[in-house]
Every structure is written in structure tokens, then in C-alpha cells.
Structure 1
């Protein structure tokens, strides 16, 4: 599905932008999931808000939380495990949603790809954390995320912490050196066979 993306700080959001974002979050996370929880939090002030639009209508959304933000510090303070520590020192992506009528067309992957791309540009080589609902583990794994916590309940819904680390690239130099060694060995064998053939002909 083709759509347009907008990335804004909280202060750059218009009142209309904010209305549609909060409406969508309430529709998906409160009404659809039948989960009464406090969606509007003070974390929004420090986030970047990524919105997917089609014909000027919000159809998808997520927010990017900076490393060491208030939310990250709060989570780390509440827990002593390594998962909270990782999330507290890295950027994270949250409140990922697609409105029901636009699901199944790859839009969630597009939004996550855009969010990851921005995190890499803004925060460099830091890992990227998410708190994923467990039924979406395979989707996030397909983007490179791996679980790093036990399952836990958050607002009555099962979640797991996941992280996207930079993949180590195999150095082309090592690949070339292996190929060179094989090629040199084959040339040596051919040279020996050639010399053996000459000796045989001379005798």
C-alpha cells in the first residue's frame, strides 16, 4: 500500500494531528483490545510521532522514544532486570498501530521500517527496543528483533521485550582471502601436473 509519512515532535503536532492520533490509539488499544488503561501519558511530550496517511487520513501510527527518556527511566526504576536496563539506554518504538480497515497490506512493516531507519539516523548504532504483544513476536522477528525478556502482563495483555541489534557484516576481505587460498592451491596442483606431464614426455 502506498501512503505518505509524517514525523513530528510533540510541539510540531497541530491540535488536529493530536486529535486524530489519540482517537486512533483509543480505538485500537482501548476499545478494540477491550483494555481500560491510561493511554495518554507524559511520555508523548518527549517522543517523535510517526504517522502514515492515505488521502490525508491517518491510517497508521507509532511513536519513537528517545534513549534515557522519562518512560525508559521509569521502567528501569520499577525493575531490576537486564531488559529494563537495555530499554532505558536505547531508543524504543511504541504504540504501533494500523487501523483495522488498512491491515494486511504490509503497512505495519512500512511504518516499522521508517521508524527503524529514523532511529539509526538519529541515534546511530544503538540497539532499538520494543515492548511487543506476544502474538506479534513472529512479525517483529521478521524485522530482526529478538526477545530478551520473559513474558509479562502489561495492562492485562501478555508482552515480551524485544531488541533489534546491528548485524555484524562478514568482511569481504576474509571472503577474498579464502577464495585466494583455494585458487592458489588449484594453480599449484595444475603446475605440478604440467611438470609431471613434461617429465613423462621427456622420458
Structure 2
């Protein structure tokens, strides 16, 4: 399923946008999951709101929490630098409306959110509080579970972190090949000279 994405700060959202976002969040996290909890929180004002549209209708959503407003911290330091684990962006409230599921939309939403975090916040890990039944899905995107499971509003969750993959330097094969070719050429030259010298010696 192909969607159009919009990414807005809270102030950029229209009243209609906010209505549809809160309606979708209530539908999925409160009604479907039978979990009466306070969905609206003060963080919404500081988040970026990523909406997936199909024919202008909201079909999926997530919010991105900037590092300076994110209260979640990694259990593990990154590259042994505690500062790296202390301030990282988070992705939350990830949802796809029931009638649009099983079409790869959740992966598209997460991919868009990750892409934005990488562009905006650079080489910072990204943290999420994942419902445990979705661990495999988030692992397929590169997230790694951290620590023990915990209950959040009566639903089992686990922290998961997407770290930056270190690039390993690979030796260019071309350099080794050119060196080998040079050595082989020198050896062939020496053999040729030796052969010619041998022939001359036999002819004298």
C-alpha cells in the first residue's frame, strides 16, 4: 500500500488534523486494546507528528519525541559514552488503523520516522517502548531489546534501541590485485631475461 506522509509540529497541525490523530489513537490504544489510559499527555506539544494518508484519510500515525524532551534512557551506554545514551530521540504511539493492516504500512511509517531521526539528530540511537508481541517486527528494523519486560498501563512492554551500525573499513581488492600483478610482471621479466641469457650462452 502506497501512502503519502506528512510531518508536522503540534503548532503546525490544524484542529482537523488533531481530531483525526486523537481519534485514531483512542480507537487503537484505548478501544481495541481495552485499555483505559491517559493517551493525551504534555509531550504531544513538543513532538513531531508523522501521519500516513491514503486519499487524504489518516490510515497510520506515529510521533517522534526529540532528544531534549525524551524521558526514556537506554540501559546500556553507547560506545562506552554515557552521554550518548542520555539524550536520544524516541518514536512512539505507532499505529495503523485496523482496515489498513497487513499491507506493510507499519514498516513504511517506521522507516519514514527513522529516516527523519537520522537526518535531524544524526548519529544518535533511537529508543522505543515496544509492546512485547511486536518484538520480532521491531527487530526486523534493527531495534534490539534492552532489559526486562515491564507493564505499562497493564500491557507488557520492553525497551528497544536502534543503534548506529559502525562501518568497517574494507580493503580495496584492486590495490592487492595491482600489487600482485606488478610482482608477477617482474618475475616474468626476470625469467624471460634468464631464458634469453641461457640461449645466448648456449650459442657461444
User: TM-score, normalised on structure 2?
Assistant: 0.83
Distance 1:27 1:86, change over 3 A: farther
Deviates more, 1:60-69 or 1:9-18: 9-18
Alpha-carbon distance in structure 1 between the residues aligned to 2:86 and 2:35: 25
Alpha-carbon distance in structure 2 between the residues aligned to 1:200 and 1:107: 71
**Bigger helix share:** 1
Alpha-carbon distance in structure 2 between the residues aligned to 1:94 and 1:57: 21
What count of residue pairs does the alignment treat as equivalent? Answer: 193
Alpha-carbon distance in structure 2 between the residues aligned to 1:160 and 1:200: 74
Alpha-carbon distance in structure 1 between the residues aligned to 2:84 and 2:146: 9
How far the C-alpha of 1:198 sits from its partner, in A, is 5.4
Q: Judge conservation of contact 1:87–1:129 (CA < 8 Å) in 2.
A: no
Alpha-carbon distance in structure 1 between the residues aligned to 2:63 and 2:146: 21
3-state DSSP of counterpart to 2:6: strand
Q: Which residue of 2 aligns with 1:195?
A: 190
Alpha-carbon distance in structure 1 between the residues aligned to 2:104 and 2:124: 26
Alpha-carbon distance in structure 2 between the residues aligned to 1:166 and 1:81: 16
Structure 2: 5+ residue stretches without partners: 78-82, 200-204
Q: Which residue of 1 aligns with 2:80?
A: none
Q: Which residue of 1 aligns with 2:111?
A: 113
How far the C-alpha of 1:143 sits from its partner, in A, is 1.6
Does residue 127 of structure 1 match 2:122?
A: no
Cα RMSD (Å): 2.4
Q: 2:87 aligns with which of 83, 86, 89?
A: 89
3-state DSSP of counterpart to 1:68: helix
Q: Which residue of 1 aligns with 2:30?
A: 30
How far the C-alpha of 1:179 sits from its partner, in A, is 4.0
How far the C-alpha of 1:148 sits from its partner, in A, is 2.3
3-state DSSP of counterpart to 1:163: strand
Structure 1: 5+ residue stretches without partners: none
How far the C-alpha of 1:102 sits from its partner, in A, is 0.6
Q: Judge conservation of contact 2:75–2:146 (CA < 8 Å) in 1.
A: no
Q: Judge conservation of contact 1:68–1:88 (CA < 8 Å) in 2.
A: no
3-state DSSP of counterpart to 2:67: coil
Q: Which residue of 2 aligns with 1:169?
A: 167
3-state DSSP of counterpart to 1:126: coil
